[in-house]
Amino acid sequence: MDIREMAIPDCYEITPKQYGDNRGIFFESYRFDRLQEIAGRRIDLRQVNTSVSKKGTVRGVHFADIPQGQAKYVFVTQGAVVDYAIDIRVGSSAYGTWDSSVLDDVDRRALFLSEGIGHCFVALTEKATVTYLVTDVYRPEREHGITPLDEQVALDLPFAREELLFSEKDAEAMTLDQAHEAHLLPTWDEARKLYASFASQ
């Protein structure tokens, strides 16, 4: 597999090598050793989530408190999404910026997003099925959101506003500035300290 760091530090795009014959295809969707070598840290996956979404569905922008935080390994088993990594770590040189990748059932790419990164995706197809391998169980009291329509973040969304589907929670989420003022955002220093603790284990 090919692993490259995205424009957002501590986020990686993983493209597997697919082997096909008259029976179908085979590929490795996750290799802990390859990813840990590139990321320079231990990755302890503890929960697997799956969502199935209608075309135009927006999920995110979501993030969890540090520590513990929740890193994510995200891939698609059916259909396609555009997946976004948003740097919300206060003090990061990339703060407020984002990078994205199309995840689908053709190239079968995956994204690894470290703790402290905002995550969002938009379903490009009907029944887009996304699987997330995450490093902590769901803790609702430590989960937060930022509106994907924040003009400061300015995500390049693939559909017009009226074509997008949001949960009530995501539609009413704070802007990045509001989350910063409420002291909900992780900091660059907190994130680096957490990553370093994983590197030493």
One DSSP character per residue, 131-155 reads EEEESS---GGGEEEB-TT-TTT--
At 20-55, the pLDDT tens digits run 999 999 999 999 999 999 999 989 999 999 999 999
Active-site residue list: 62, 132
Can you give the CATH number for the domain in which 59 is found? 2.60.120.10
Region 160-181: mean pLDDT is: 95
Confidence at 201, pLDDT banded by 50, 70, 90: low
Predicted confidence at residue 199, as pLDDT, reads 85
Count of alpha carbons within 13 Å of 45, Cβ hemisphere only? 18
Q: How many structural domains comprise the chain?
A: 1
Round to whole Å and give the CA distance between 136 and 122: 23
- Summarize pLDDT for 91-125 with one digit per residue, the tens: 999 999 999 999 999 999 999 999 999 999 999 99
State what percent of residues in the chain have pLDDT above 70: 100
Residue 131 pLDDT exceeds 70:
yes
Strands 58-64 and 72-78: unpaired
Query: What is the domain range of residue 13?
Result: 2-199
pLDDT of residue 156: 97
